[in-house]
Structure 1
C-alpha cells in the first residue's frame, strides 16, 4: 500500500505524518516529524522525528483517522510530567 502523507498543527507546531498501512508486506509504519519550526521537540520525541512500527490494521481498527490518532497520542504524552516540565521551561526560557 502506498504511503499517505498528512499535515497538522499541534500546539503551534506544524507536523508532517507519513502513514504506510503495510510496509514490506508485514508491518505498518508511522513517521512523525515537526516541520515548522523544523526539529521542534514533541512529547513523543526530543528530536522532532519519530519512526513507529505497529501491527497492520491498528489505525483502521480505531476508526482510520490518522491525524486524530496522532493528535491523541501527542495529547496523551503531553499530559505527562516530563513534557509539562519541558513545556514550562520552554515558555519561561532557561537561564542556565
Structure 2
C-alpha cells in the first residue's frame, strides 16, 4: 500500500491526513475500490475533533462516494464541517473556551 500524506489546517488544528485510494487492492477482484482515510491531530497533539474524541480516526469509503469532492482534503474538510454542526461538538468547543473553576 502506498499512502498519500497531506497536512490540513482546520480552525486551530493541524491535521495529518493519510489516504490510500485502493486499500486491499479490491479492483483486482473486480470490486469497487475501497479507500482508507486516517485523520490524526498533530497540533494540539491528540486533540479531539468533531469526528473523533481521541485525535485519531480511521475511515473506509468507496471512491464512488468520494466523487462529489475534489480530493481527500476537500472530503475531510466537508466531513469536519458537517460533524462540527452537532450540538455535542458545539458544547464541547464552548466549554473548551471557558475556564472551569472545578
- The TM-score, its normalising length taken from structure 1, stands at 0.89
- The residue matched to 2:42 in structure 1 has which SS? strand
- Structure 2 counterpart of 1:77: 83
Counterpart selection for 1:58 from 41, 55, 65? 65
> What is the Cα-based RMSD across aligned positions, in Å?
1.4
1:33 maps onto 2:40 in alignment: yes
Runs of 4 or more, structure 1, over 2 Å off, are 56-59, 93-96
What are structure 1's unaligned runs of at least 5 residues? none
Number of residue-to-residue matches in the alignment:
95
Structure 2 stretches lacking a partner, 5+ long: 27-33
TM-score, scaled to structure 2: 0.85
Q: Aligned match of 2:74 in 58, 65, 68?
A: 68
Larger Rg: 2
